[in-house]
Amino acid sequence: MRYIFLSLIIIFYSNILKAVEFKGKFEQGSFIIGKAQKGSKVEIDNRKIRLTKDGYFVFGLDRDRKNNVLIKIYENGNIKIIEKKILKRDYKIQKIDGLPKKQVTPPPEVYERIKKDNILIGKARSINTSYDYFKDQFIKPIDKYIITGVYGSQRILNGKPRRPHYGVDFHAPEGTPVKAMMDGEVTLAKNDMYFTGGTIIFDHGHGVSTLYMHMKDVNVRVGQKITQGDIVGTLGQSGRATGPHLDIRLNWFEVKLDPASILNLD
């Protein structure tokens, strides 16, 4: 009898250990870290994703995600299926007037340039490395700022509805030093992209990347390893910007996430 009791405890306990844990809200735009048993395999919406040696994995939810997310965990020959509802968010409407006309509707002669920029950005965002920096707490890129733009807001530029804003805008004086939010590797460093101006993309592993735009100076190069807190350049207003600010982005591959979901913003 005692033996049975003991084994029940063991079974119960090992089930707790095997439970999948998540950090992050199941909400539109959210960044979510999961932990499964070592050596498991994980699929998110039937897409195979990478696990760290300790069983950590990461994924993100689109701004307009409506359907439930399907998480399949294969461990020890068993499949665990977890289905989670996604909380919907209300996004702001942001009107910006007085932008130069060519910045709202680019002239045809720059289409090729924009296309090239987008290909470079897309390539950098599709990188899938085994770095596991994404697991740690990100820090803010600058210390003193005013938030002037938030994720998800619908933009109306000079009265014309445009793509939603996917970044968080930190307003601060031009030339303010900008820090890396997390360890990583630089996968794109450009001084002069059409929309984004001085642009840096950092890879933090497993498809997680962050992007800085409108930089005045870009002081890193592609392939460079970065430590959290390193100064990577200065804040500017290059590209399509109405004033000096740092616009930061967070991506899980092609999915654009809310940078506020990884930062403690005041």
CB of 169 to Zn ion, least distance (A): 4
Tell me which residue has its CB nearest to Zn ion: 247
- Name the minimum Å distance from CB 197 to Zn ion: 11
Nearer to Zn ion, 183 or 247 (CB): 247
| Least CB distance to Zn ion at residue 127 (A) | 23
Label residues 71-93 b or e (16+ Cβ within 10 Å = b). bbbebeeeebeeeeebeebebee
Q: In terms of CB distance, is 34 or 149 closer to Zn ion?
A: 149
Least Å distance, CB 247 to Zn ion, is 3
Report how far residue 208's alpha carbon sits from residue 131's, in angstroms, rounded to the nearest whole number: 10
Q: How many helices (H) and strands (E) does the chain have?
A: 3, 20
Q: Write down the least CB distance from residue 108 to Zn ion, Å.
A: 25
Exposure on the CB side of residue 201, measured as CA atoms within 13 A:
24
Residue in 260, 232, 238, 208 with CA at minimum distance from that of residue 49: 208
- Give the residues lining the site for Zn ion (CB under 5 A): 149, 167, 169, 247
Nearest CB to Zn ion, comparing residues 34 and 244: 244
Q: Give whichever of 36 and 211 is closer to Zn ion, judged by the CB atom.
A: 211
Instruction: In whole angstroms, give the CA distance from residue 190 to residue 58.
Output: 27
Q: Which is nearer to Zn ion, 35 or 256 (CB)?
A: 256
